[in-house]
Structure 1
Amino acid sequence: MRNMKRFLRIESPINLVLFCSSSLRGTKQLHSKESIGYAIPGELFKYVGVVFTIYLLSVNNLSAQTQNSDNLYKKPLVDVLKEIQTRFKVQIKYSEPQVKDKWVNYADWRFRANVDETLTNVLTPLDMKVNKEKPGVYKLKEYEYYRWEVQDGWAYLDTLATKYHDKASWEKRKAEIKPELYKALMLSPLPAKVNSKPIITAKRIFDGYSVENIALEILPGVWINGSLYKPLTAKGKIPVILSPDGHWEKQRYRADCQLRCATIARMGAMAFSYDLFAWGESMLQFKYEDHRRSLAQTVQTLGGIRILDYFSSLKETDTNRIGISGGSGAGSHSILMTAMDDRIKLSAPVVAMSSYFYGGCPCESGMPIHQCGGGTDNVELAAMAAPRPQLLVSDGSDWTAHTPQHDFPYLQKMYGYYGVRDKVENVHLPDEKHDFGINKRIALYNFLIKNFKLNAAAVKDKAGKYDESKVTIEKENALYVFGDKGEKLPKNAVMGFENLEKLFPLSAMK
């Protein structure tokens, strides 16, 4: 008992272990083939039990102190999210890989009186965000690039603008950036064209337009898929509007996407609606996760180039009236394609362009395109469209909220170098959200009618309002090229990202 009292004054866990060892001296050691142990006298056993209990408590306390030895008061992100849900009575959707091995410093101090401010405080240091799907329901975003502060983006654009002051100096700047874009995307030189015919499905006839699905082989065994909307009656050469689809749910199969492309066709132009890489029907060959890899931007850009090759070769195409319009991530794609390829004569990036946000996905910013020319941004890349007509559609709830204040005036100045300041337009919808809704489509229709001389009367009612009611919304599988279950996918199809990388031997991107 004296030993126990003396021991209890000793605070070191090591001494606890030494005491246990010394207390066992003189006990009978037992040996067998299976085990080695000690026969402990009954009166000693209870003290050993107390000693080990104290030892375990000491270890746990030491562990807790070690965890917060830097006074960061860390908690696993998953536990913090659960606490937020309980405290504010909301639902936060997330997957295990999104929260795995992520910790929140000073977790308890990040809580505020409302859920939105709390989520911002918790997620911003982790470069994460949530989307608010509906009241009380949030979803953790799967990918989010770091955003600049608005003023920082503007200041950087102003710095870029000091590199030129007239048409000649700007043309010199463009000539510097353009070839570097191809190099940054590993498309210099371009891969050899694949000598194969497009795969085209049967044509469906609707009110004033037709639809047929097309797959183009852009690399050996790699296809880009889409649906071609064509006017039923058109005289002479026909304009083409490339219509890449953005990151919205249901991809190019969405109703608003079909409404847009069919209405353009009813006005007298071809509209080709196509998938981003590892998106839509492309997921027959690649996983959804592959879209979040840097090489996605390269394959996506090559796809756009090969689409231009195809439509430029058709006798019915008016090559002086080829345009491109996509929303969100496809808006970033539209800006890049227009900067790189002069065959595009009109561009209309929707809810996309910003000087302080370069795109929330590797398919927009995964390759070092923004390092070209000693550094650039999406607004300067959009300026490379000048003097070709360009429409910017912006809204009040995303990174285009400040477009009219700084980015659009910059573009007006750039177009002014060519004496065509009015060729760039901005339709700003401050009360709208990040989508390709009816008002954004109307802005596009007006711009196409004005610059490509399309037939407005074919899509307007007696009151002069756009009428999309004559468009047939097809079921998703009707827009497939390769069958309901991919059964028509060619046998030489490249399957899996690791096999795609073999087509780009210089790529180390994952």
Structure 2
Amino acid sequence: YQTREEWEKRKAALKKQILSAAGLYPMPPKTPLNPRVFGRIEHPDYTVEKVALETLPGYYLGGNLYRPKGRTGKLPAVASPHGHWTYGRLEHQPLGSIPARGVSLARQGYVVMTYDMVGYTDTIQTPHVFGNEREQLWGFGPLGLQLWNSIRVVDFLESLEEVDATRIAATGASGGGTQTFLLAAVDERVRFAAPVNMVSAIMQGGSPCENAPGLRFETFNVEIAAMMAPRPLLLVSATGDWTKNVPNEEYPAIKGIYELYDQGAMVEAAQFDSPHNYHKDSREAVYRFFGKHILGETDREKLSEAETKVEKLQDMLALHSRKLPEKALSYEELFAQWRSRSRAQTDGIADKETLRNLLRHSIGAEWPAQVASERDGERIVLSRPGKGDRVPGIYSPGATPPALVVHPEGADAARSEEAVRKMLLARRAVLLLDAFQTGAAAGPRDRSHEFFLTFNRSDDAHRVQDILTGLAFLRSRHAGKPELVGLGKAAVWSLFAAALAPADLKLTADTGGFSGSDEDFERDFFVPGIQRAGGLRTAMLLVEGTR
């Protein structure tokens, strides 16, 4: 990126992409947290309490709250997610100790909330790994739920009387590092961040809680972490894991973004000769970084970790000898509530451009600024410069109004249709597309990777993009309103393409029995997040007047 303005535009688009992938676009309404803070354990210089937050109605997040004693005035706070440790937020071993982190930061003067990943420790209403195709339609998965929980933890910290809301930080390692930089990317209230042993160009996360569908379309963790700029950021890495290149590769790349703000000094890197960790040396690097930027303290002795007394597990568990509240939802009820709240939210949006943006981000499609073409007789290949896509078809120049015809078996099958023969006899301009994985565009596509959809659009999403590319080509070549004709199963593809097209057009598409149910989308138009964006109702509102 050459200018701050160019980066800010990209950053704004990335934020929407992250939120859309997480099922949080638009952001769900925030309901009362109804915090339960209890079971205080007293130490001479800090206290520890158990916490349960109702981050969604009937859904509870467990954690521990560490507070300093003997401090006056407003205090900084730290949101502290954990990674995939066996004991979650209670893990305590040489390579990583979440309790030692909480205690040490509290002793230094911070209010610290350590909290669960979904499916860990006290947060047990869902498993850690979930997200089948139906859930994906609604953006319901562990990444989104964890990101939402992190946002609500910041809400909770802000609500504490002793907390200075202008000095909230976040730090975690491994999967907790992913949570840290995703939270910092979408929530500007996080003013300081230290993701540990996670930011890397060569590994993007090994769990579904780090890999929602659509998260990394044309991006990766290094760019997402750079969204922290120009707020202070520390990158902690290790020689023995996927962060081994950080000092020489990822750190300079991120620093380049900070320099667009003339704030290169606000990002730092520290590396240790170690396997994957958040051990004492890594923690002390974070203490020193936070101390300098948050406390104005540079005395290494004051920012070192003293011996820590770790409490018994049962004394730290919010649910030890307790049950979840009676209003707690089951897993099935939680998903049903997510669907109903999502539907109510999108049903309440009347502005068409807002609805179009929701669809655009769920599908991952765009109206091309430019379309290149290569012709060989009647055969044509369309592409978007710099995107690497190639859309074959059959093009017959002619009179207006031009028509784009999409058949589920491709251009040659479309040409045999009676309606197309009539268009050609009338000497209309006609473009017949081989949309993605149809006709001449069909080919092998290995979808077997567990996180394939994190990085790759679904077949149906690609088809929508190809149709938009075809429409943009016709608009650039012909005056008049183009007609978009979707035949058979391609009628649904064409409907959603028409919903995204900013240009005036006529849509001819019989969607038959497609009612917009989850079953319909799973069978005929699978795009993760499409129901969260309003599904068929949104598309129908956007194509009013085109049919």
Residue 424 of structure 1 aligns with an amino acid whose one-letter code is V
- What is the CA–CA distance in structure 2 between the aligned matches of 1:442 and 1:186, rounded to whole Å? 35
**Matched residue SS, 1:446:** helix
- What is the CA–CA distance in structure 1 between the aligned matches of 2:298 and 2:44, rounded to whole Å? 16
The counterpart of 1:468, out of the listed 297, 302, 306, is: 306
- Closer/same/farther in 2, CA of residues 488 and 455 from structure 1, 3 Å limit: farther
Asked if the contact 1:253–1:476 (Cα under 8 Å) also holds between the matched residues in 2, the reply is yes
For residue 272 of structure 1, what is the aligned residue in structure 2? 113
For residue 55 of structure 1, what is the aligned residue in structure 2? none
- Closer/same/farther in 2, CA of residues 291 and 434 from structure 1, 3 Å limit: farther
For residue 112 of structure 1, what is the aligned residue in structure 2? none
* 1:438 corresponds to 2:272: no
- What is the CA–CA distance in structure 2 between the aligned matches of 1:454 and 1:214, rounded to whole Å? 30
For residue 117 of structure 1, what is the aligned residue in structure 2? none
Residue 317 of structure 1 aligns with an amino acid whose one-letter code is V
Q: Deviations over 1:251-272 (max 9, x none)?
A: 1112221111100000001111
* 1:392 corresponds to 2:226: no
Residue 249 of structure 1 aligns with an amino acid whose one-letter code is T
Residue 208 of structure 1 aligns with an amino acid whose one-letter code is D
**Matched residue SS, 1:189:** coil
- What is the CA–CA distance in structure 2 between the aligned matches of 1:502 and 1:454, rounded to whole Å? 48
**Matched residue SS, 1:178:** helix
Q: Which runs of 5+ in 1 are unaligned?
A: 1-163
* 1:480 corresponds to 2:326: no
Q: Deviations over 1:184-214 (max 9, x none)?
A: 2111222222335211113111131001111
Q: Deviations over 1:14-66 (max 9, x none)?
A: xxxxxxxxxxxxxxxxxxxxxxxxxxxxxxxxxxxxxxxxxxxxxxxxxxxxx
For residue 407 of structure 1, what is the aligned residue in structure 2? 250
For residue 329 of structure 2, what is the aligned residue in structure 1? 494
**Matched residue SS, 1:280:** coil
- What is the CA–CA distance in structure 1 between the aligned matches of 2:109 and 2:131, rounded to whole Å? 33
- Give the TM-score normalised by the residue count of structure 2: 0.58
Asked if the contact 1:226–1:272 (Cα under 8 Å) also holds between the matched residues in 2, the reply is yes
Asked if the contact 1:278–1:291 (Cα under 8 Å) also holds between the matched residues in 2, the reply is no
Residue 442 of structure 1 aligns with an amino acid whose one-letter code is E
Asked if the contact 1:252–1:258 (Cα under 8 Å) also holds between the matched residues in 2, the reply is yes
Q: How well do the aligned residues superpose, as a CA RMSD in angstroms?
A: 2.2
**Matched residue SS, 2:291:** helix
- Closer/same/farther in 2, CA of residues 325 and 488 from structure 1, 3 Å limit: same
The counterpart of 1:347, out of the listed 171, 189, 193, is: 193
The counterpart of 1:448, out of the listed 280, 290, 301, is: 290
The runs of at least 4 consecutive aligned structure 1 residues that moved more than 3 Å come to: 287-294, 454-457, 506-510
Residue 359 of structure 1 aligns with an amino acid whose one-letter code is G
Asked if the contact 1:269–1:454 (Cα under 8 Å) also holds between the matched residues in 2, the reply is no
Taking the TM superposition and a 5 Å limit, the aligned residue runs for 1:36-435 are 164-255=1-92, 256-283=97-124, 285-290=125-130, 295-371=141-217, 375-429=218-272, 431-435=273-277
Relative to its length, the structure with more strand (as a share) is 2
| Bigger mean CA offset, 389-398 vs 304-313 | 304-313
Asked if the contact 1:279–1:291 (Cα under 8 Å) also holds between the matched residues in 2, the reply is no
- Closer/same/farther in 2, CA of residues 174 and 202 from structure 1, 3 Å limit: same
- What is the CA–CA distance in structure 2 between the aligned matches of 1:342 and 1:240, rounded to whole Å? 14
**Matched residue SS, 2:104:** helix
Measured after TM superposition, the shift of residue 286 of structure 1 is 2.8
Q: Deviations over 1:221-248 (max 9, x none)?
A: 1111110100002121110011101101
Measured after TM superposition, the shift of residue 493 of structure 1 is 1.0
Q: Deviations over 1:48-97 (max 9, x none)?
A: xxxxxxxxxxxxxxxxxxxxxxxxxxxxxxxxxxxxxxxxxxxxxxxxxx
**Matched residue SS, 2:251:** helix
Q: Deviations over 1:304-360 (max 9, x none)?
A: 111111222233211111000000001011011000000000000000011121111
| Bigger mean CA offset, 195-204 vs 445-454 | 195-204
Residue 302 of structure 1 aligns with an amino acid whose one-letter code is W
Residue 190 of structure 2 aligns with an amino acid whose one-letter code is I
Measured after TM superposition, the shift of residue 481 of structure 1 is 1.3
Asked if the contact 1:206–1:472 (Cα under 8 Å) also holds between the matched residues in 2, the reply is no
- Give the TM-score normalised by the residue count of structure 1: 0.62
For residue 116 of structure 1, what is the aligned residue in structure 2? none
**Matched residue SS, 1:357:** coil
Relative to its length, the structure with more helix (as a share) is 1
Residue 439 of structure 1 aligns with an amino acid whose one-letter code is D
**Matched residue SS, 1:282:** coil
- What is the CA–CA distance in structure 1 between the aligned matches of 2:33 and 2:304, rounded to whole Å? 40
Asked if the contact 2:197–2:236 (Cα under 8 Å) also holds between the matched residues in 1, the reply is yes
For residue 465 of structure 2, what is the aligned residue in structure 1? none
- What is the CA–CA distance in structure 1 between the aligned matches of 2:77 and 2:150, rounded to whole Å? 13
For residue 75 of structure 1, what is the aligned residue in structure 2? none
- What is the CA–CA distance in structure 2 between the aligned matches of 1:465 and 1:319, rounded to whole Å? 22
- What is the CA–CA distance in structure 1 between the aligned matches of 2:148 and 2:303, rounded to whole Å? 38
- What is the CA–CA distance in structure 1 between the aligned matches of 2:291 and 2:55, rounded to whole Å? 31
- What is the CA–CA distance in structure 2 between the aligned matches of 1:406 and 1:306, rounded to whole Å? 33
Asked if the contact 1:295–1:367 (Cα under 8 Å) also holds between the matched residues in 2, the reply is no
Asked if the contact 2:168–2:189 (Cα under 8 Å) also holds between the matched residues in 1, the reply is yes
Residue 202 of structure 1 aligns with an amino acid whose one-letter code is G
Q: Deviations over 1:397-428 (max 9, x none)?
A: 11101111211110111111111111101101
Q: Deviations over 1:147-175 (max 9, x none)?
A: xxxxxxxxxxxxxxxxx212111111112
Asked if the contact 1:216–1:224 (Cα under 8 Å) also holds between the matched residues in 2, the reply is yes
Identical counterparts, % of pairs: 33
- What is the CA–CA distance in structure 2 between the aligned matches of 1:280 and 1:353, rounded to whole Å? 26
For residue 47 of structure 1, what is the aligned residue in structure 2? none
- What is the CA–CA distance in structure 1 between the aligned matches of 2:189 and 2:32, rounded to whole Å? 22
| Bigger mean CA offset, 308-317 vs 225-234 | 308-317
For residue 34 of structure 1, what is the aligned residue in structure 2? none
- What is the CA–CA distance in structure 1 between the aligned matches of 2:328 and 2:298, rounded to whole Å? 42
**Matched residue SS, 1:324:** strand
**Matched residue SS, 1:298:** helix
Q: Deviations over 1:107-152 (max 9, x none)?
A: xxxxxxxxxxxxxxxxxxxxxxxxxxxxxxxxxxxxxxxxxxxxxx
- Closer/same/farther in 2, CA of residues 338 and 273 from structure 1, 3 Å limit: same
- What is the CA–CA distance in structure 2 between the aligned matches of 1:306 and 1:381, rounded to whole Å? 20
